Amino acid sequence: MASDNNTILEVIDLKQYFPIRAGFMQKIVGYVKAVDGVSFSLRENETLGIRGESGCGKTTTGRAILRLYDPSGGEVWYRTLAGERVNLATIEKKQMMPLRREVRMIFQDPFSSLNPRMTVKDIIGEPLAIHKVAKGRESDDKVAALMRKVGLNPAYMRRYPHEFSGGQRQRIAWRAPSRSAPG
């Protein structure tokens, strides 16, 4: 795949194998090939959906890209908000921490990934606190700005996930910085 300045993510021949163990000593007797040779690229201002039947490797692909699993093979090139190109498949896990502010999965059913006991303000504000981006009044302002950015009325920040439509819940789960205007 040819990469250019508009390519945000380039996945090349991604593999994720899980060992099959058997016997008293738990010897590896084979592998489950959960992801075997997946390649695609994502350019700025494009949307990518991965579709397939249950068990075909969609979530495993996402987890390998995010380094929740160490990929068995392949390359995952990501262009950071700062413009640096990094191979997520091979960088040290500690180098992933700052990138977790930029990269995330959005599930088709975000309701199951949103805590029903937290308000939208708390849900969106949580990563701001974890990454020490903002707290207190500054956090409220950033939450309001993020809600506006994804087309949600900030007046609804004290509502709970069940009070929103499926599409609105996906936008709540998204809560990501813009590539053109970090923050």
Tokens 């160490």 correspond to 70
| CA pair distance 162, 140, nearest whole angstrom | 21
Residue 127 belongs to a domain: yes
For the chain, what is the domain count?
Answer: 2
Helix axes 136-149, 120-130, angle to 10 degrees: 110
What's residue 153's pLDDT?
A: 95
> 135 and 71: one domain?
no
> 20 and 92: one domain?
yes
| CA pair distance 113, 106, nearest whole angstrom | 9
What's residue 150's pLDDT?
A: 87
> 115 and 89: one domain?
no
| CA pair distance 43, 2, nearest whole angstrom | 12
Determine the structural domain holding residue 127 and report its residue range. Answer: 110-174
39 contacts 1 by C-beta, under 8 angstroms: yes
pLDDT in tens, the chain (183 residues): 456 778 999 999 999 999 999 999 999 999 999 999 999 999 998 888 888 898 899 989 999 999 999 999 999 999 998 999 999 999 998 888 888 878 877 766 666 778 889 999 999 998 888 888 888 899 999 999 999 988 999 999 999 999 998 888 888 887 544 444 333
Residue 183 belongs to a domain: no
Residue 181 belongs to a domain: no
> 71 and 20: one domain?
yes
> 11 and 90: one domain?
yes
